[in-house]
Structure 1
Amino acid sequence: MAFKLSFKLVDAPNGTDDAIRKKEETNRMAEANRAFAHFR
């Protein structure tokens, strides 16, 4: 557990953490969907 936490703390500032990558991907998807929302 401590080993994984240390990797998370090292990866977070670099932007290579899985959670950060997932959040950015979700935000990109939301932006893309927002662009097409006016077609409804």
Structure 2
Amino acid sequence: MMSVLLSLFSLDIKISGALLVFHIYFPFQLFKPMNNILFH
């Protein structure tokens, strides 16, 4: 039972970590072309 909880917990950490990376990285990818257009 404990190992199942631990594996779920580590999976949850991986998912939240991936979401965090996505939320930080993706807006930069979106704003980079906009910045190039605005500040050229």
> TM-score surpassing 0.5?
no
TM-score normalised by length of structure 2? 0.44
User: Quick check: which has more Rg, 1 or 2?
Assistant: 2
TM-score normalised by length of structure 1? 0.44
More relative contact order, 1 or 2 (CA 8 Å, 6+ apart): 1
